[in-house]
Amino acid sequence: MDLLRAIKELEQERQRLDTAIARLEEMLRETKPSQPAKRRGRKRMSSVERRVVAQRMREYWARKRAGQQDDS
């Protein structure tokens, strides 16, 4: 009969855990909207920054092409 008692105790513990989980989830739902949403993703580049990067890449590829011509 110890097995039946163990099952009953486990079912009572499961009920306590279910209640605790439900309370925690409720707390989470209540606090979640108050937190501001964080913006994720890449930083937007200004047109000036884009021009600087474009120039740097043009110079990079020009050097790269010049190096390949020497190898041929």
Q: Rounded to whole angstroms, how far apart are CA atoms 4 and 20?
A: 24
pLDDT in tens, 25-57: 998 887 765 556 677 788 889 999 999 999 999
Task: Please spell the DSSP secondary structure of 17-72, one letter per residue.
Answer: HHHHHHHHHHHHHHHGGGSPPPP-SPPPPPHHHHHHHHHHHHHHHHHHHHHHHHH-
Q: What's residue 40's pLDDT?
A: 79
Q: What's residue 21's pLDDT?
A: 95
Residues 53 and 45: beta-carbon distance below 8 Å? yes
Give the side-chain half-sphere CA count within 13 A for 16.
Answer: 6
